[in-house]
Structure 1
C-alpha cells in the first residue's frame, strides 16, 4: 500500500509540474552547498539522487550520483532499494523536483533527506567534483579573452533544461535588437560548457546574468527580472 501511495503521489506531482513547470522551491530540507557537501563527505557510501531526466543525467552529474527519473515506470522500486536509516541527498536543475523528492522520502519513513539549494548549477558552479561526458567548447582562458576584448559584454549562463533560462532568451533578443554591435552577448549553457562554468566558481543558480564593462563586472544577477532595465541604466552612464 505504501508503494502504491508513493507512486500515486509521483503521478500527481508530474501532472502539476507539467502544467506549471518545475519551480525554484524551498523547504526546511533544502540546504546550502556547504552543508550538503559536508554531509556527503561524512558518509562512506552516500546515497545521492539526481532527480533530473535521464538525458540530463547522461550529460553531467555529481560524482557517485544515481538517476531516479520521476517519469520512469520502476521509480517506486528504485526508491525501495535505498536505506531508510541513512541520509539521502537529492538535487535537480534547480530546486523543484529534488525538493519534492526529499519531502516525499521523509513522509515515507526515511530518516534524513536533503535537497541541494541551487541544484546542479550550484554544485558545478562552485567547482565541486562532477562527471561530464563532453569537453567544454569554451575554456576559461577563451572566456577571459572575450571579456578583455569587448568594451560592453553581457553573459548569460544557464541550461537548455532550465525553465527560467528559456524565459531569458526573448529578453536577450530585445536587448540585442536595441544595442546591436555595441553590446556583445555571450550565452553559455551547462551542456556545452560545463568546465568553464566550474572554473568560474561564481555560479550558484541558473540563470545568472553578468554585465561587464571594460573587463569589470557592473552587475551580476540571479534570474532575469528587470534585466533590460538594468542593462539600459548601465549603458546609459558609460
Structure 2
C-alpha cells in the first residue's frame, strides 16, 4: 500500500512537471482558434477532449466535448475509446494540460491531435458555441452600463481555476487602495459570467485586463505583467 502511494505521488509530480513545461513552451501541435474551429467543423463527429478537472467541465465546456481527467484511474480506458485514425481536439483553461495530452496521444499512435491556443478562454472569449450550467450573473447590457456610468473602469476577466488569474487579485487590491472611488474595478469570472465574456468577442487568454476612460479603451492586456505600472501611466496622462 505504501509503495502504491509513493508511486502515485511520483506519477502526479511527473505529470505536473510535464504540464508546466508544456505551458511554458508552445507545442507544434498547438493551433490558433481559427484552425482549431475549422478542423472541428470539417468532422462529422469530432473527438473533442476537455482536459480540465471535472468541476471545471461541469460549469462550462465546448459543445460536444467529453472530459478526460488526466489524474483519474480510468484515463487509459478513456483514451482507448478514441479513434486513432481521426483527429483529436484538446483544450484546457489555457494550454498546459491540453498540450500535454495532445502530445501524449501522438506518441501513442494517434494520427492527429491538436491543442487549442488560449484554451477555453479563447473559445468562449470569441463567441464560439459552448455549454454553461447556469445563466451569467452579468449581462453585456449591464457591462456596457457600468463602463458608461463610470469615468474610469478597470475590468479583470479570468477564472478561479487559472493560476495566473489568482495572482492578479493582490495587484488589484493595491490599485483599489491607491485610487479608491476614482477607479471602478470590475472582476468577471468564467464560472459566473461566461456569456458576457462570449459577447465581448475579444478575449484570447486569461487573465485579460481592460482599462476604460470615458467609455473608451485605454489599454487591453493579455496577462497582468506590469499592470500597476500601466494603470499609473495611463491615469497620470489623463
Question: Which residue matches 1:193?
Answer: 193
CA distance in 2, matches of 1:57, 1:134: 13
Q: CA deviation at 1:136?
A: 0.4
Corresponding residue SS for 2:188: strand
Contact 1:139 1:195 in 2 (8 A): yes
If the length of structure 1 is used for normalisation, what is the TM-score? 0.93
Q: CA deviation at 1:71?
A: 1.2
Contact 1:10 1:70 in 2 (8 A): no
CA distance in 2, matches of 1:25, 1:187: 29
Question: Which residue matches 1:74?
Answer: 74
CA distance in 2, matches of 1:8, 1:110: 28
Question: Which residue matches 1:128?
Answer: 128
Please, which moves more after superposition, 21-30 or 195-204?
Answer: 21-30
Q: CA deviation at 1:26?
A: 1.2
Contact 1:98 1:115 in 2 (8 A): yes
Corresponding residue SS for 2:23: coil
Q: How does 1:40-189 map to 2 (within 5 A)?
A: 40-189=40-189
Q: CA deviation at 1:223?
A: 0.4
Question: Which residue matches 2:5?
Answer: none
Q: CA deviation at 1:12?
A: 5.1
Corresponding residue SS for 2:198: helix
Contact 2:154 2:211 in 1 (8 A): yes
Question: Which residue matches 2:17?
Answer: 16
Corresponding residue SS for 2:217: strand
Question: Which residue matches 2:31?
Answer: 31
Unaligned runs of 5+ in 1: 1-6
Contact 1:25 1:95 in 2 (8 A): no
CA distance in 2, matches of 1:101, 1:15: 12
CA distance in 1, matches of 2:110, 2:12: 20
Contact 2:23 2:99 in 1 (8 A): no
Matched residues, number? 231
Unaligned runs of 5+ in 2: 1-7
Corresponding residue SS for 1:64: coil
Contact 1:21 1:163 in 2 (8 A): no
Q: CA RMSD in A?
A: 1.9
CA distance in 2, matches of 1:223, 1:234: 17
**Residue by residue, what CA displacement relative to the aligned partner does 1:152-189 show, whole Å, maximum 9, x if unpaired?**
01000000000000010111011111111110100000
